[in-house]
Amino acid sequence: MDGFVSEALKIVFAYYLNLAWRRCRQGWPMVLLLTLTMAIGIASCMTALTIFNALSGEPLPGISPHLQVVTMDAREAGDKDQSSYDVPQSWLGLADATALVDAGRARQQVALAQAYVLLGNPDGKQSEQTLGLLAHGPVVPMFGVPMRYGRPWTASEQAGHAPVVVIDTGLARKLFGTENAVGRSVAMGNGSFRVVGISEPWKPRTQFLDVKRNQGNVLGQPEQFFVPAQAALAAGVGPLTAGACGKDEAVVSFQSAEVSQCRWLEVWAAVDGPAELENHRRFVAGYADAQHDSGRFMHPPQAALYGVREWMVANRVVPDDVALNLGLAGAFLLLCLVNVAGLLAARFLRRQADVAIRRALGASRRHVFAQHLVETGLLGLAGGVLALPLTWLGLWVVRKQPVAYADAAHFSVGAFAMLLLLSLLVGLLVGVLPAWRVCRQPLAMQIKLA
């Protein structure tokens, strides 16, 4: 019985499709206009949505939701007398950063700073200016950097300021001509660092580490080496910029290892669950307050933890344009919807004569409604198909733009599925009102009008 009903439905559905097709062929300029309007609306929305999605997801799926960055007003007497601490600051001096990390209160924690350093092989024949992280703590396991060969550095190596380094496969190939360069030496600053591990190429999807030194970057940059911070300093290798330094220091100095008077490290902690988060918050606040009470920190420290998303918003990593454009595109799609709904209503109501005949011959209101919905659904799908090249065009245009997120504008299979679903939804949504309007007309009135 069920099989019979579904078979009948199929026939009816096929009949409606056929009807819709015939009707679309009549007055095709109008149909073209409707489809084009829907396509433009859908395509602009998809373009903006693709970029928004690429930039608003978690930078490290599965890992970044647990990360928290430590902020506090750690200015000491020797620091520049900036009059206010109006935005939260994450940079800490080496002593504070290592103290917070070594206390080991969270599941994992690391202090880090962005570096941009010349790395070479021992004979000096190959060298490469490379982005990487100076870190104190288990940076590689904590951020889930995948290892190809070897291992990250150990706690005892870090404690002993051992000159060890983890480099990625790309850098290993460039410096040594082979990916498995474990055990080789890398020249960095005035030191020689032993390669203990080779990582896979790694970068966060969006920039969230040391955002101050990465200003202007929206997309994550590949970090090609990881080195213990204190060992690096000992070899004369410093962060990209020295950070916030003492009163008599330069405003900015690049690649300097003379950072003893500076706040330059950012402390990240991996924390699971609200209870642990609250514990960690209390621990950090306690540490900061103790420094203030002892007279080291001049101001009330206002210590706070920020999650990755919050921190990115606070530092405006993703430009406003992205959300503004999405809003604009959404409003435009809405306008297109109302527009198409109106034109469809006019189109349907013009054909009341046909509807009246069908109704007189026994079609129920439900059938008339379903028939019109099939027609608009078909129009919606046609709009979606037309929107596909338009979306591709839109993303191509964005890629040509001088914006930091241009590389995020790539069409994905997921986006394509979303596009088709969106267009079907748009088609049905747009059709509901006109279809309902057509079948609501009392039968006698319809026949009279006809």
Q: Please give the residue ranges that form the binding site for other proteins (CB under 8 A).
A: 30, 33, 37, 40, 44, 81, 83, 116, 118, 129, 249-256, 258, 320-321, 323-325, 327-328, 331-332, 334-336, 338-339, 341-343, 345-346, 349-350, 401-403, 433, 437, 448
In the bound complex, what is the minimum distance in angstroms from residue 56's beta carbon to other proteins?
14
Torsion of CA 237, 235, 192, 194, to 10 degrees: -80
CB 100 within 8 A of CB 284: yes
Query: How do strand 265-270 and strand 91-92 relate by DSSP bridges?
Result: antiparallel
- Please state, in angstroms and as integers, the Cα–Cα distance from residue 137 to each residue in 111, 230, 270, following that order: 6, 11, 12
Closest to other proteins by CB, 100 vs 341, is: 341
Q: How would you class 174 by CB atoms within 10 Å of its CB: exposed for 0-12, middle for 13-18, buried for 19 or more? A: middle
Closest to other proteins by CB, 123 vs 320, is: 320
In the bound complex, what is the minimum distance in angstroms from residue 411's beta carbon to other proteins?
19
In the bound complex, what is the minimum distance in angstroms from residue 95's beta carbon to other proteins?
22
Closest to other proteins by CB, 36 vs 304, is: 36
In the bound complex, what is the minimum distance in angstroms from residue 75's beta carbon to other proteins?
15
User: For 444, what's the count of Cα atoms within 13 Å in the CB-facing half-sphere?
Assistant: 0
The first and second tokens of residue 371, run together, are 């028939």
The first and second tokens of residue 150, run together, are 């070897």
Other CB atoms within 10 A of residue 187 CB: 19
Closest to other proteins by CB, 129 vs 156, is: 129
Closest to other proteins by CB, 89 vs 325, is: 325
In the bound complex, what is the minimum distance in angstroms from residue 121's beta carbon to other proteins?
16
In the bound complex, what is the minimum distance in angstroms from residue 335's beta carbon to other proteins?
4
In the bound complex, what is the minimum distance in angstroms from residue 166's beta carbon to other proteins?
20
Q: How would you class 157 by CB atoms within 10 Å of its CB: exposed for 0-12, middle for 13-18, buried for 19 or more? A: middle
- Please state, in angstroms and as integers, the Cα–Cα distance from residue 364 to each residue in 7, 65, 359, following that order: 19, 53, 6
CB 227 within 8 A of CB 132: yes
Closest to other proteins by CB, 68 vs 121, is: 121
Closest to other proteins by CB, 81 vs 123, is: 81
Helix residue ranges per DSSP H, 253-319: 273-293, 308-314
CA distance 5 to 2: 5
Closest to other proteins by CB, 9 vs 313, is: 313
In the bound complex, what is the minimum distance in angstroms from residue 377's beta carbon to other proteins?
20
